[in-house]
């Protein structure tokens, strides 16, 4: 009996450190594999002109990333993938902006451009006309934490996670609870999304921007 009592505390310590025991193991859902230098699951979406996207080796990360150059252009890359926000509500990504935008009014159609933008989409309606989207952006006018509706449609909400020249030329890691963001911005409990996209766009302002995108994934924690 004494031996059993001595083992019980030790067993508790082991349980606490074994993965998947004593606490729920984290679930992850990869969205990108840019580090491989391929993006076969991603498609191009052109709005106005072609933003130049290419694979490049980043010496700081020591891995391949996506580099984006936009000069009065707006095209993006998107991946159609069903993501269960009940199981994996957290969107994780990293990005770096080398050339930001300035002197624009992001509340207007003429200023609806962003050096870096990552967005999630809930597809609805015929031809997707009723789809909802949350856009996480590197803003130029709005401060980090600000939210506002797209000047083009009420079905898109923008959320600034970075702003202006703060941390320019530095990799920044982000984690957002997408399910909670949809609740906050649209008042709906969205339990799954249908697509993820990235875009560096400057077509409305006619300016230029330069950014980099690292890996993208969803997680349970």
Asked if 119 and 135 count as a contact pair (C-beta separation under 8 A), the reply is yes
Domain that holds residue 185: 25-219
The domain tally of the chain equals 1
Residue 8 inside a domain? The answer is no
Residue 161 inside a domain? The answer is yes
Q: Cα(82)–Cα(2) distance, rounded to whole angstroms?
A: 54
pLDDT digits (tens, 9 = 90+) for 94-147: 999 999 999 999 999 999 999 999 999 999 998 888 999 999 999 999 999 999
pLDDT digits (tens, 9 = 90+) for 9-48: 433 433 333 344 445 689 999 999 999 998 889 999 999 9
Q: Residue 189 class from Cβ within 10 Å (0-12 exposed, 13-18 middle, 19+ buried)?
A: exposed
Q: Cα(144)–Cα(163) distance, rounded to whole angstroms?
A: 5
Q: Cα(112)–Cα(90) distance, rounded to whole angstroms?
A: 26
Q: Which of 34, 89, 39, 60 is nearest to 214 (CA)?
A: 34
Question: What is the CATH classification number for the domain harbouring 75?
Answer: 2.60.120.200
Residue 43 inside a domain? The answer is yes
Average pLDDT value for the chain: 91
113, 203, 56, 54: CA torsion to nearest 10: 130
Residue 149 inside a domain? The answer is yes
Residue 18 inside a domain? The answer is no
Residue 125 inside a domain? The answer is yes
Residue 10 inside a domain? The answer is no
Residue 2 inside a domain? The answer is no
């Amino acid at each position: 009996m004494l031996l059993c009592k001595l083992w019980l505390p030790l067993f508790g310590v082991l349980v606490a450190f074994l993965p998947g025991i004593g606490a729920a193991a984290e679930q992850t859902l990869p969205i990108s594999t840019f580090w491989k230098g391929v993006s076969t699951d991603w498609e191009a979406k052109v709005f106005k002109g072609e933003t130049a996207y290419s694979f490049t080796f980043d010496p700081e990360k020591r891995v391949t990333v996506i580099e984006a150059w936009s000069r009065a252009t707006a095209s993006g890359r998107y991946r159609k993938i069903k993501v269960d926000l009940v199981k994996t509500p957290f969107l994780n990504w990293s990005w770096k902006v080398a050339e930001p935008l300035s002197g624009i009014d992001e509340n207007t159609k003429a200023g609806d451009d962003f050096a870096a933008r990552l967005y999630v989409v809930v597809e609805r309606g015929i031809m997707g006309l009723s789809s909802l989207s949350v856009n996480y952006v590197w803003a130029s006018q709005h401060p980090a934490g600000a939210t506002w509706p797209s000047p083009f449609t009420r079905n898109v909400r923008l959320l600034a996670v970075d702003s202006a020249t703060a941390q320019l030329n530095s990799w920044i890691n982000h984690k957002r609870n997408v399910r909670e963001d949809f609740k906050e911005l649209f008042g709906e409990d969205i339990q799954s999304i249908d697509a993820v996209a990235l875009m560096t766009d400057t077509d409305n302002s006619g300016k230029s921007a330069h950014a980099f995108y690292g890996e993208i994934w969803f997680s349970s924690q």
